[in-house]
Amino acid sequence: MTNHTVDTDFFLMEFSHSQQLQVLQGFLFLLIYLVSLMGNLLIIMLVTVDQCLHTPMYFFLKNLSFLDVCLISVTVPKLILSSLSHRSAISFPGCVCQVLFVVLFATSEIFLLTAMSYDRYVAICHPLHYDVIMNRAVCIQMVGASWLFGSLFGVLYSYGSFSLSFCSSRKVPQFFCDVPSLLKISCSKMHVTIDFSIIFGVVYGFFCLVSIVFSYVYIFNTVLRMPLLQGRSKAFSTCMPHLIVVTTFLVTAVTAYLKPVPDSPQLLDFLVSVFYSVMPPSMNPIIYSLRNTEIKAALWNVLWKLDYYEFYRGKNSHGR
């Protein structure tokens, strides 16, 4: 890697050359970012303070929300700043950090979604042994493994990407630095490190996908044999949000990484990238909240306590 590679900035893709449209885009993504941030932080807060939610399923959900906050915070704030300042440049260290952390958090999230599918499998197919199998130590180990795999892939992908040479165009055909776009603008003929990392990543993703599929095959087989309609409904209500999240995340990620990177990206390419990196973290709180009665009950419980506290404080102040 030559010195001029390290010292030169990269230029990220712009949605439009119109400054008015860029400002509109900046405020739109600022709104999406704030909604995503508040939704995920709300889930983290509710699961932390409500004793009824101190179960393995909600422990994983809290960690998923934290990963979502981290993932969307790597790319969207830079997009907002670029749109409002009309400056698409990103420094070499900033580009390295984006690749490192996007891969880290996305890889960790895939493993965590796999752990959540296994948790639902044990809860529905082996309910009598659930507390023994999914004890606190096992849950912590699963979350730790997700961070370990994420860190490993983050280092591998970022090292492999930036061991390449970038000697001509510095225009990244993406609104953040990602591996396919950097490979597109690289002038290196050999990609041994990054090719090995990609193969390793495909095997990892395939393992997670197969594990999730097998879990849900057993889950649906067990649910359909349940004699009571109420039992089926409750089982489906805990599984469907997770299945929607898994499908959305994996389909958009695979589409973004496997489709060819165009020389001049169009609106459709921009939207595919948004669906992969922005929509899952934004939609997860909505999906889990709308279909989850326990999350809604915890929220109403917190709001009721806040109203009671305000009423009691106001009553005391008037009494004085």
pLDDT tens, 144-194?
999 999 999 999 999 988 888 887 678 888 888 888 888 888 887 777 778
Instruction: For residues 113-131, give the mean pLDDT.
Output: 91
67 within domain boundaries? yes
Q: Based on the structure, what is the number of domains in the chain?
A: 1
Report d(CA 131, CA 117) in Å as an integer: 16
Instruction: For residues 194-209, give the mean pLDDT.
Output: 87
Lowest mean pLDDT among 134-143, 170-179, 206-215: 170-179
Q: Which long-range contacts (CB under 8 A, 24 or more apart) does 89-94 make?
A: 89/9, 89/10, 89/11, 89/12, 90/9, 90/10, 90/11, 90/12, 90/172, 90/177, 91/9, 91/10, 92/5, 92/6, 92/7, 92/8, 92/9, 92/10, 92/162, 94/177
Is the separation of the CB atoms in 79 and 274 below 8 Å? no
Report d(CA 182, CA 166) in Å as an integer: 9
% of the chain at pLDDT higher than 70? 87
247 within domain boundaries? yes
Residue 313 has pLDDT above 90, yes or no: no
265 within domain boundaries? yes
Report d(CA 140, CA 16) in Å as an integer: 45
91 within domain boundaries? yes
311 within domain boundaries? no
Residue 5 has pLDDT above 70, yes or no: no
Structure tokens at 213: 């599929």
Beta bridge pairs of residue 171: 11
Report d(CA 315, CA 304) in Å as an integer: 16
Please give the pLDDT value at position 1: 41
CATH of the domain at 286: 1.20.1070.10
180 within domain boundaries? yes
Lowest mean pLDDT among 172-186, 224-238, 241-255, 274-288: 224-238
pTM above 0.75, yes or no: yes
Is the separation of the CB atoms in 256 and 272 below 8 Å? yes
Candidates 45, 60, 43, 95; CA nearest to 74 is 95
Question: What integer best gives the mean pLDDT of the chain?
Answer: 83
Of the pLDDT bands very low, low, confident and very high (cuts 50, 70, 90), residue 307 is low
Please give the pLDDT value at position 3: 40
Residue 44 has pLDDT above 70, yes or no: yes
305 within domain boundaries? no
Structural domain including 225 reads 3-290
Q: What are phi and psi of 226, to 5 degrees?
A: -70, 135
Report d(CA 184, CA 73) in Å as an integer: 25
71 within domain boundaries? yes
